[in-house]
Structure 1
Amino acid sequence: MTDLPTEMRAIDPGETGGPEVMQVVTRPVPQAGPGEVLIEIHAAGVNRPDVLQRMGLYPMPPGITSIMGLEVSGRIAALGEGVTHFTIGDPVCALVPGGGYAEYVNAPAGSVLPVPDGIDMIDAAGLPESYFTVWSNLFERGAAKDGETVLVHGGTSGIGTTAIQLCNAFDVKVFVTAGSDGKCDAARQVGADLAINYRTEDFVERVKAAAPGGVDVVLDMVGGDYVPRNIECLGEDGRHVSIAMQRGAAAEVSILAVMAKRLRLTGSFLRPRPAAFKALVARSLHETVWPEFAAGKLSALTDRVYPLEQAADAHRRMEAGDHVGKILLKIR
């Protein structure tokens, strides 16, 4: 792509606060550095870390742009030095450390993937963050495998719906929790084997009734007082993987239960991991997961698409928690 513009539209709040701080501003178009590609963005995913960043609760790693957004879809607009495996114009989706709410973004080449076969360019923007997170935590760190049973909280979130689909594709039984009967119905439609309304039911009791020996893995976005309850749900040699802490970072855990059931407690943040790690995850996704889109076992689940100018409304929907699947911003 030639004759790139020098300026672009972007969401780059000058202060923290509510959704209203997100207004479209003009920023310089970045230039691809060594090992990077410049992507002309078609759409960007909206994620909970974006909300936390806007509120001043999720500081950016050093050297990262203050423009919001962690995942995009679009076309390659320029190649940085040393990048040889992409061509200008290639349709791609990418995990980026920041800068996604804009018309152009630089992405580490290792975190860029082709748009999967059969997936719309706009919908593809909602794939990277959830698929990198779920694959690296539930299937690699948590070692979920064929024939096992997992429990995933937030069953209708982007993470939750991605986990359901991946479990279905790889023959893993999946239980989820959600905050209403309607959301539980939606989770079952996506493919959950069991959906529990945590507002009206005790998820520990429901899990124990459905899996008397306990589940093999818990993927937890809640933290706090959910952690000891998750441990109750785990069976022998179970794995507990923490990826967020919506109910707090502190938890009281019975070491006796950990020892008696030989449990493994682990977790991770994705955003601060080095580019080399993300490149390894991308390679695994490309080789193992992306073919499942072509096979019809996976799809992009988009909740709602907003124009960039309505980014504030997209954040309000995220905060309301009414979405099923991914919320996206359409850039062009």
Structure 2
Amino acid sequence: MLALPKLMREIAFDGAGGPDVIRVREVSVPAPGPGKVLIEVVAAGVNKPDCFQRQGHYPPPPGESDVPGLEVAGRIVAVGEGVAKSRLGENVCALVGSGGYAEYAVADGRLCLPVPRGLNLTEAAAIPETYFTVFDNVFTRGRLKPGETILVHGGSGGIGTTAIQLAKLFGSHVIATAGTVEKCAFCRTLGADHAIDYKTHDFVAEVKALTTKRGVDVILDTVGGAYIQKNLSLLGLEGRLVQIAFLQGSRVESFDFMPLMLKRLTITGSTMRARSIEQKAEVARALHDKIWPSLDRGKALPVVQATFPLEDARAAHELMESSRHLGKIVLETGE
């Protein structure tokens, strides 16, 4: 094992609340258990679920750290029982259940993937959470196929930018929604065939016109609420609605299920964090086999718009909640 410090910095929350509850604390460096590795973190991705956790709405799964952070990139500096010592020194990006906002983080060895060729560790830290989520939900659950059309809500954020690029990578037609003219233009630079400003246009009417009322094959939605019925109206025959968040709520007062029967629709969705390690490992293997070769060739890469030092996690959360960002936000430890 490499010589390690006894103490490290990490981000903690002083109770549930706004970004003002974020603070830096000093704690002991953790040790990896069986099947785990210890990563010296260079960068950690910032995601909406981190903000929900800070607000008290998205607690870590049992047994996970209370420290936020679902994805990291860095170097493996210690390994637990059952992990080959040859992995020491590897540069990896990893999906973690929690604990990413720290100078050292424990990850399951099966969820550590090599840093794609040509990317630095800050860029690699923007991969795991969104690519695991999009790949599993769009292609496994949503069954998106080449030549089909997908509607991506929130196309300018981390999930949206990933979904647009991966869908185009596999030959699908992409329609995205975003909240400004500039964000729509950004979506088009990533490959979206059409981008609709939902604040100034009726996206339902726009999508129906673009598809000559046939509808789309897959919808990836994080909004919920009133969007649910609208989404069902936009799905074509055998269409699939994939729900991965409910920013406007998971309940609706009135809902017409008739489109499910008439158009033979599927409603599905998932969260990645609560899944078993074995299930996440399956996704990791599929990503490595089907997506990593493209990343190594410089295709469908993560878009990092802003970086902050670890101690400025509050500013990173403020930017995330302002919705002004394009793509991903990343914290850097300064290593």
How does the TM-score come out when normalised to structure 2? 0.97
Residue 300 of structure 1 deviates from its aligned partner by 2.2
Q: Which runs of 5+ in 1 are unaligned?
A: none
Instruction: Write the distance in 1 (CA, Å) between the matches of 2:257 and 2:13.
Output: 44
Deviations 1:70-114 (A, max 9, x none): 100001111111112851111100010000000001101111111
Counterpart secondary structure, 1:282: helix
Question: How big is the shift at 1:3?
Answer: 1.2
Question: What residue is the counterpart of 1:88 in the other structure?
Answer: 88
For the residue of structure 1 that corresponds to 2:13, the secondary structure is coil
| Counterpart residue identity of residue 233, structure 1 | L
Q: How does 1:158-197 map to 2 (within 5 A)?
A: 158-197=158-197
- Label 1:85 to 1:4 Cα distance change in 2 as closer, same or farther (>3 A): closer
Which residue type is aligned with residue 293 of structure 1?
L
What is aligned with 2:272? 270
Map of 1:216 onto structure 2 = 217
Q: Which residue of 2 aligns with 1:24?
A: 24
CA deviation vs aligned residue, 1:15-47 (integer Å, no higher than 9, x gap): 121112111110111101001111000000000
Aligned counterpart for 1:318 among listed residues 317, 320, 331: 320
Aligned to 1:256: 258
Distance 2:13 2:28 in 1: 15
**Among residues 283, 286, 302, which one is paired with 2:285 in the alignment?**
283
Q: CA deviation at 1:163?
A: 0.4
- 1:94-105 to structure 2, matched below 5 A, reads 94-105=94-105
Q: How does 1:1-332 map to 2 (within 5 A)?
A: 2-84=2-84, 87-212=87-212, 213-251=214-252, 252-331=254-333, 332=335
CA distance in 1, matches of 2:274, 2:177: 28
Question: 1:238 & 1:254 partners in 2: Cα distance?
Answer: 16
- Is the contact made by 1:65 and 1:98 (CA closer than 8 Å) also made in structure 2? yes
CA distance in 2, matches of 1:96, 1:296: 25
Aligned residue for 2:240, secondary structure, equals: strand
Deviation at 1:253, TM superposition (A): 3.2
> Does structure 2 conserve the Cα–Cα contact (< 8 Å) formed by 1:306 and 1:330?
yes
Whole-angstrom CA distance in 1 between matches of 2:273 and 2:280? 9
Q: Please state how far the C-alpha of 1:247 moved relative to its aligned partner.
A: 0.4
Could you report, residue by residue, the CA deviation over 1:205-258 in whole angstroms, capped at 9, with x for unpaired residues? 111111121100001100111011001110000000100000001134322111
Q: Is the 8 A contact 2:14 2:23 kept in 1?
A: no
Q: Identity, % of aligned pairs?
A: 51
Q: Root-mean-square deviation (CA), in Å?
A: 1.1
Deviation of 1:123 after TM superposition, in Å, equals 0.9
Structure 2: which 5+ residue stretches go unaligned? none
Please say if residues 119 and 300 of structure 1, whose CA atoms lie closer than 8 Å, have aligned partners that are also in contact. no
- Please give the alpha-carbon distance, in whole angstroms, between the structure 1 residues aligned to 2:234 and 2:118: 37
Secondary structure in 1 aligned to 2:124? helix
**TM superposition score normalised by structure 1:** 0.98
SS at the partner of 1:38? Answer: strand
Deviation at 1:304, TM superposition (A): 0.2
What is the CA distance between 1:187 and its match in structure 2?
0.8
Kindly tell me the number of residue pairs found equivalent between the two proteins.
Answer: 332
Structure 1 CA distance for aligned equivalents of residues 52 and 271 of structure 2: 14
Whole-Å separation in 2 of the counterparts to 1:253 and 1:273 = 29
Cα deviations across residues 176-217 of structure 1 (Å, max 9, x unaligned)?
Answer: 110111110111111111111000101111111111211000
